[in-house]
Amino acid sequence: MTTRREFIKNVAIGTAAISVGGVLPGFSAKSYNNIVGANEKIRMGAIGVNSRGNALAGGFAKEKGCEIAYVCDVDKRAMEKCISNVVKIAGNTPIGEKDIRKLLEKKDLDAVIIATPEHWHAPGALMAMKAGKHVYLEKPTSHNPAEDEILMEVVKKYNVVAGTGMQRRSWPNVIKAVQEIKEGVIGKVYFGKAWYVNNRPSIGTGKVTAIPDWLDWELWQGPAPRVSEYKDNYLHYHWHWFYNWGTGEAGNNGVHFLDILRWGMDLTYPSYVNSSGGRYAYQDDWQFPDTQVVNLEYGDDKLITWEGRSCNSRNIEESSVGCAFYGETGTLVIGGGNAYKVYDLKNKLVKEVTSEMSFKAGDISNPTQQLDSFHFSNFLDGIRKGTSLNADINVGCISTTLAHLGNIAQRTKTTFRTNPVNGHIINNRAAGKLWNRKYQKGWEMKL
């Protein structure tokens, strides 16, 4: 029996296919669109669906011409919950699959959403792209900078569409704010500040306990070096704060607004990095800082910073998350939602662009539900029409690397220079060792 994907490939053999960022290797997006037709659904699989992945599956299920056909998770409870969620939203019942490797063998699967724990992000995306699947990869794109370098290469090799969860790049008023910055609304911009604040409780000291019957602990760990004992404060959310699996608050939330600063100020990699902070609020198993200030210098004329406070939620600029651009003639502030304000040098509000759609503080799974549809449709149009992605893999990887560099400076308690072309750390052996990671044997990242 010939599958739909095989049919498309067979038709492509008889066409003069010049790739323009198309869906299949050697097969253009335009040709794909002509063959598939406007009514053909893009069949997606959602991988990692306990929290954010469940919200993403629900969001994509609402998109026209998209079907969540598969749900994949090592937690059978999360899988069942997500399947039920999709049934309620879209009416179809996705097929459940525990093992990502088996999921990626499916011939009728076009694309995947990856919202697993962070140590799985890049390895999962690499596996999916090598299998010819398009990828929507949640932030951060990786667990370490070396993985970002690999992802930026693999997307070119396998000619798939790869988008990232930097969704604010698709929000209309954020786009407008960045346009205004580039057009000189506050003059030359020389400083950008980003922040995230919360009131996270202590995670305590974990107790060794039996592995829950709903969890495949071996597969959950996947590419990460093995932790043999299972503790009761690992899952589900607290893995963010352990070096082996997470990237701390900088990777978890800092990347969003570091990305906006980088976008508005036309920046890529810095030339100088340092970070200060620590685990101050509690004495527990949490390994990353709960209070951190990262400084990223760009040559002699631009600086961006990120301030993270995981355990003190006093707002900055009346928002728990956001960024501010400081220029020669004023300041532009973007909060958590689809809105911004412009001030002159005397702190007078000279322009305010508002939106009813906003950021919902405290919602760890779906804080920007109303707005994310803009981003989802852009990704789907990238597959159907070859539309340029607002946040492609390069955008996500470069912005994620900024967070990693801050964490590396913090962990090594050093300040270092970096290559502004590729972000590589210069003449710092301790920091350089954290550019990549060790993998569990058999799970290494390879092109």
pTM given for the model? 0.89
CATH code for the domain defined by 4-168? 3.40.50.720
pLDDT of residue 97: 98
What per-residue confidence (pLDDT) applies to 14?
33
Q: Which tens digits make up the pLDDT trace of 275-296?
A: 999 999 999 999 999 999 999 9
Question: What pLDDT shows up at residue 102?
Answer: 98
Per-residue model confidence (pLDDT) at position 374: 94
* Nearest partner of 404 among 278, 209, 291, 246, judged by Cα: 246
Give residues with Cβ within 8 angstroms of 41, minimum separation 6.
65, 66, 67
- From the number of C-beta atoms within 10 Å of its C-beta (0-12, 13-18, 19+), residue 56 rates as buried
CA–CA separation, 194 and 294 (whole Å): 10
Beta-strand relationship, 66-72 and 95-97 = parallel
Give the pLDDT of residue 40.
Answer: 81
What is the chain's mean pLDDT, rounded? 90
Tell me which residue of 144, 408, 398, 429 sits closest to 273, measured CA to CA: 408
Q: Which CATH class is domain 171-203+233-358+365-376+393-432?
A: alpha beta
Q: What is the CA radius of gyration of the chain?
A: 22
- Residue 195 half-sphere exposure, CB side, CA atoms within 13 Å? 22
How far CA 261 is from CA of 190, 195, 408, in Å, comes to 11, 11, 20
**Confidence check: pLDDT of 79 > 90:** yes
What tokens does 327 get?
A: 């220029």
Residue 6 has pLDDT above 80, yes or no: no
At residue 3, the pLDDT reads: 45
pLDDT tens figures, 15-54: 222 222 223 333 333 333 333 334 489 999 999 999 899 9
pLDDT digits (tens, 9 = 90+) for 331-379: 999 999 999 999 999 999 999 999 865 545 554 444 456 789 999 999 9
What is the mean pLDDT of the segment spanning 382-403? 98
Query: For residue 406, with 0-12 CB atoms within 10 Å meaning exposed, 13-18 middle and 19 or more buried, which class applies?
Result: buried
| Extents of the domains making up the chain | 4-168, 171-203+233-358+365-376+393-432
